[in-house]
Chains A and B, each alone.
Chain A
Amino acid sequence: MVDPSQAGMVAVGAGLAVGLAGIGAGLGEQAIGAAAVGAMAEDEKFFGKGLLMTVIPESIVIFGLVVSLILLFVF
């Protein structure tokens, strides 16, 4: 268990874990998303593949999320 005086720091850490990971994933996804939309405009069949490619950087956020959940609820 965390010392009450440090609980705030834990919360800040949890927020940073999700927030920063989210920014990173967003930066990664913007280029892929734009390209995927372009490909889809050419041929609609690319929807599935486009979605797949676009969400690849998202796993980073999930890592961040898991870290923050562990910080908040496990420690």
Chain B
Amino acid sequence: MLKPTKMTRVVIAGTKDTIEPVISTLHSLNMLHITDYTEENEDFKIGRPLKPASKLSEYLLSLRAISSQLGITGKEPASKQSSKELPSRIDEKITELQKEVSSRFDELRGIEFKIKEKEDLISAVKPFFGLPLSLEAYQGYETIKVYTGFISDDIEPKLLKITNNYELFTGEYEKRKIFALFIPKTYEDEIQKLLQDERSYVELKVPELKGNPPVILDQLTNEVSTLKENHASIRSELDTIKKEYSDFIMASDEFLSIETQKAEAPLRFATSANAFIIDGWVPSKKYNELESRLQESTNGKAYLTRLEEVNEEEIPIELENPTPAKPFELLINTFATPKYREIDPAVMLFITFPLFYAIMLGDVGYGIILAGLALVIKNKFKTGGLNALASILLLSAVLSVILGVIYGELFGFPLFNIEIKGHIEEGILGIAAPAIAGLHLPIHRFDSVQSLLMITLIIGILHISLGLIIGFRNVTIGHGLGHAIYAKGSWMLILIGGVVAIAKLMPSLMSGSSIRLNDPAIMAGMGLALIGIILLIKGEGFISIMEIPTLLSNVLSYARILAIGLSSAGIALAVNTLSMDLFIKPDHVLLGGGIGLALVGVVVLFIGHLINLILGVLGPGLHSLRLQYVEFFTKFYEGGGRKYIPFGYNRKYTEE
């Protein structure tokens, strides 16, 4: 919690005959972050991959080709396959599968090509429906030239000027005029020129087929449908193969990936003629396990050394947090991985992120729906980023329900009875709100804007102060106390002093009465802020004065917690008023406008709340995150650490 996992640098050395057991032990332990060996010298070279590497990657390549041809996608496996049995099956199955799948795939390609060809022919034949000739009549002449095409003008008068020795057929296809002209080749040049001058002329190529166009069309259509049937049957064969082998392919893919990873591991080691050295990091508390397991698998032939003197920049970072706060590491890593000695703020995010979110959303109905949604996502994705996001959403949604009770809002409708201008408006529950610990519920958001604004600003001041305190600690550890006082202490003084002074000044500023500067609290506050400013200038230079307004904007920025909440509640209220007063209950009579209008009202209600719900995920989520990243993190967080990636694999489809 708060600090990344403590790491120990470990160097493992051994003779080359133990390299395989060492690699497979390390891989199954999944705890050593290997530092790649890059500087070759006379004694030590980068290792060579183990023998099976090239064969394994070949297999992997053909397997991936098959799986992409079959369109196999990762899903949750029904059962895990044992990796002891897989190798023997992989050998025989992959060649067989490849043959079956790729031959069928080639066939599919061939059929698709033929279908395309036939369809092109069909569209070429169709225009000739308009002419009373069979297709062979257009070709095979020695002294006659044939022109066919679309044309909108009558060319006969122009033809007659050239010669009367011709035959012209005209017709219509899809409301365009079509013609076929048979004329001796001696007039070729003149006709060419004549047609070129006709703007509406579009040449048509006669397909090289024999027979009447309608007959040919029938034949072609039949051929296409036969081809399509073939295509479908091969596709279904492929689907059967896919169904049958999908589990096997996913498992083999995983198995081969793991084996390739192992076989290629020596590329990260330093090796001499007869020995190898692995340099890496292991979480300190796991060191003993690593040592004993390695000794066990090599009969004591591997040598482990712990190195005490380390360069902090090189330590890989593994965040360590209690399970509930674990999903929030995603938000930290999205921003930046912390450095080894920095505070890991995941636990603080665990508290503040859902809190800000809930204060913004604060509606029982939306909260319940989002919680349900989060549960569904969590069930569907058991690991990974989406699971973490769903966990965050779940927590935020549950808190939103609680805040919704405090605000007394359910889809924007009042949850409890509230008194407006003397008469009591009945809420959904039909009861008056309970008073908890002297606080009279509900705190209606539109009625208490002023006090809620105060609360959000106080939250902001506390949040920023927390950031500055962590920053103070980080700088103290990194650069010493003096630096910390200049860099962070100064800001704390300005913040506290400023807040005290402004809080005292505010009432008289608001009421417009004269300001009494000799109030001790104001004097003290201004004094503190002044000391802070002096420290700041001393530490960071004169230009840092420019930064001071940022502090104000940072604090005011927390007003967005109220603003987003008001807009969300406002949209809900608008949707409710619109649908209830206009459609469902015009003039306070249920179905007063008839069933039709009531249905319109229901649609408006549904769509309105759906939009507001989507906004309710995006708005509060992003703004709550922004407050963390921009207002909070900038006070202390540097980041730039390297992530801890242990040598190993999280098995999903296979087991050892």
Contact = CB atoms under 8 A, between A and B. Distances in A.
Interface of A: 45, 47-49, 51-52, 55-56, 58-59, 62-63, 65-66, 69, 72-74
B352 interface: no
B201 interface: no
Contact of B560 (A52, A62, A72): A62
B626 interface: yes
B559 A62 contact: yes
B316 to A, nearest CB: 16
Given A45-B336, A59-B553, A63-B556, A74 B629 contact: no
Contacts of B562: 69
B630 A55 contact: yes
Interface residue range, chain B: 20 to 34
Contacts of B560: 62, 65
Contacts of A62: 553, 556-557, 559-560, 563
Contacts of A52: 629-630, 634
Given A51-B626, A59-B553, A73 B336 contact: no
A31 to B, nearest CB: 18
Given A47-B335, A69-B562, A73-B453, 16 more contacts: A48-B335, A48-B629, A48-B639, A51-B626, A51-B629, A52-B630, A56-B630, A58-B557, A59-B557, A62-B559, A62-B560, A62-B563, A69-B559, A69-B563, A74-B450, A74-B510
B311 interface: no
Interface in B478-515: 510
Nearest to B448: A73
Contacts of B625: 51
6 contacts: A48-B334, A48-B335, A51-B625, A52-B634, A62-B560, A69-B449
Contacts of B449: 69, 72-73
A65 B626 contact: no
Contacts of A59: 553-554, 556-557
Contacts of B629: 48, 51-52
A73 B450 contact: yes
A73 B445 CA distance: 13
A55 B633 CA distance: 14
Interface string B605-619: 000000000000000
Contacts, number: 50
Interface of B: 334-336, 449-450, 453, 510, 553-554, 556-557, 559-560, 562-563, 625-626, 629-630, 633-634, 639
Contacts of A66: 453, 556, 559
Q: Which 5 A-B pairs have the closest CB atoms?
A: A48-B335, A59-B553, A73-B449, A62-B556, A73-B450
Nearest to B563: A65
| Contact residues of B: prevailing secondary structure | helix
Contacts of B450: 73-74
A65 B450 CA distance: 13
Nearest to A18: B563
A45 B641 CA distance: 12
Nearest to B506: A74
A48 to B, nearest CB: 3
A10 to B, nearest CB: 14
Contacts of B334: 47-48
Contacts of B557: 58-59, 62
Contacts of A56: 630
Nearest to B558: A62
A56 B562 CA distance: 19
A69 B566 CA distance: 11
Contacts of A63: 553, 556
B92 to A, nearest CB: 41
B453, B559, B630: most-surrounded residue (chain A CB, <10 A): B630
B335 A65 contact: no
Contacts of A58: 557
B453 A69 contact: yes
A56 B554 CA distance: 10
Nearest to B336: A48
Nearest to A47: B334
A72 B449 CA distance: 10
A57 B625 CA distance: 17
Contacts of A47: 334-335
Nearest to B453: A69
Nearest to A46: B336
A69 B450 CA distance: 8
A60 to B, nearest CB: 8
Nearest to A59: B553
A2 to B, nearest CB: 13
Q: Report which residue of B559, B625, B633 has the largest number of chain A beta carbons within 10 angstroms of its beta carbon.
A: B559
Nearest to B625: A51
B278 to A, nearest CB: 28
Nearest to B446: A73
